[in-house]
Amino acid sequence: MAKVSAKRKNKSVTVADIPHVGPGTPCGDWFRRYWVVVGIARDLYDIPQAVKVLSEALVLFRDEFGKLGLLGLHCPHRGTSLEYADIECGGIRCPYHGWLFDVSGQCLEMPAEPKDSKFPQKVKHLSYPVQEQGGLIFAYMGPDRDDPPPLPKYGPLVDRGSQWQIEPVRHADYNWFNFFENSADPAHVCILHRHAGYGQQSWGNQFFSYTEMPHFEFVEMDYGMKVVMTKPGPKPGTEFVDEMSLALPSIVQVGDTEFVHAKMDAAALIEEGSQCEHWMFVTPNDDEHFMLFTADNYKGPEANFFEKLKALREKEAPVQEVMPYDKRQFMPYKGNIRKEDLMTQGTQGLLGERSEQLSVSDRGVIKFRKIVVDAIETGLHGGRPKGMVDKKQATEIYRLDTRVGVRVIIKN
């Protein structure tokens, strides 16, 4: 269980703590209570892979028997990078003096030491438990490494429809929380993204408007927060609904992929609602970089759904004309949702360092920051923070129900 130093106990966590994930920081300690995604199984070959996670330099590998290992990147002998190590003899062997480590970090051999040396037994390199689930590799970097909490059974990874995919990892060079809290800010969808998918097809035209915003609600959930956007529906007593979920520590589920990117017939979709799960797992490399791992799961009737989606996404090129004198870094960006997000989030600076003037339409962001700060406090004091699964829930499938479609308005 995480210990809180007396000094820390009296100091309250603030939103300025959220972006910082290094060891010993409040947010870093909190993040380490959960399993985090550190790689994609299909991208891990028979060579070690350097990866920075939560400001720690690590090396991910499979030993020759297929067992996954995640060790400190630098050899504990004299620091050479184990990214260049050889995978052999039941572990990973540093190329400099041949120290050999198994996936638990235990040193097995030191070829240059006397044959009867007991020193190898005494050297245990930094190692973290690793598990694979549905094509993603998760690590637990927290305090209970000998008896870690269960890895949640994430819906789109363990209960797959007939069609699923893990998208290529995306890398970004700004703070992880700028990305994460963006989903608590639905106003940006109608404004920033009006150049892209929205407003150019039937669902967007019905639902999103720069001048006539949907109604936004922000609902605190066991896992974090849900954003609910509604507009009057096609028949009296109905409403269009578009939801996004933010699950702690860093998962976003967006429900409207079929409507916005697949551009499927809205009339047909309205009957059934979305049948595509689109989960993004955010893993901070450090305070200035993060990785984004995306798992998609489709249970609807469309054949070859992801091939079609890919072809359509490729057509979503920015539509902006760029003049020869325009040397701005993110040009062109208008017309591609991912580029629009990248430009806006990548130029914000760090939460807590930038100055802000929050308004009524930021109430989702304000609420979400409070949920995260409360979760950090809970974790810091040894409690179970939101979104963390305990042993009693280990067999349950972890779901984020994120509805998109039309529903009958229920009057309370």
80 binds, among Fe ion, ligand FES, none (CB under 5 to 8 A by kind): ligand FES
Quickly count: other Cβ atoms within 10 Å of residue 88's Cβ.
11
Q: How far is the CB of 85 from ligand FES (least distance, A)?
A: 8
Q: How far is the CB of 74 from ligand FES (least distance, A)?
A: 8
Cα separation, 205 vs 291, in Å, equals 32
Q: Is residue 78 near ligand FES by the rule CB under 6 A?
A: yes
341 binds, among ligand FES, Fe ion, none (CB under 5 to 8 A by kind): Fe ion
Quickly count: other Cβ atoms within 10 Å of residue 137's Cβ.
23
Q: Is residue 341 near Fe ion by the rule CB under 5 A?
A: yes
Which of these, 133, 36, 151, lies nearest to 395 by C-alpha position?
151
Q: Is residue 338 near ligand FES by the rule CB under 6 A?
A: no
Contacts to ligand FES from residues 88-117, by CB under 6 A: 94, 96-99
Q: Choose the binding region for Fe ion from 23-31, 278-286, 335-343, 379-387 (rule: CB under 5 A).
A: 335-343
Q: Exactly one of 52, 57, 63, 80 binds ligand FES (CB under 6 A); which one?
A: 80
306 binds, among Fe ion, ligand FES, none (CB under 5 to 8 A by kind): none
Q: Tell me the site size for Fe ion, rule CB under 5 A.
A: 1
Cα separation, 24 vs 22, in Å, equals 6
Residues 6 or more apart in contact with residue 9 via CB below 8 angstroms: 381
Cα separation, 29 vs 69, in Å, equals 21
97 binds, among ligand FES, Fe ion, none (CB under 5 to 8 A by kind): ligand FES
What single-letter amino acid sits at 35? W
Strands 224-232 and 404-408: unpaired
Q: Exactly one of 36, 58, 60, 75 binds ligand FES (CB under 6 A); which one?
A: 75
For residues 99 and 368, which CB has a smaller minimum distance to ligand FES in the complex? 99
Q: Is residue 348 near ligand FES by the rule CB under 6 A?
A: no
For residues 96 and 306, which CB has a smaller minimum distance to ligand FES in the complex? 96
Q: Where are the beta strands (DSSP E) in 285-377?
A: 290-298
Cα separation, 319 vs 321, in Å, equals 7
Sheet (strand 107-109) strand order? 86-88, 91-93, 100-101, 107-109
Q: Is residue 77 near ligand FES by the rule CB under 6 A?
A: yes
Q: Where do contacts with ligand FES occur on this chain (CB under 6 A)? A: 75, 77-80, 94, 96-99
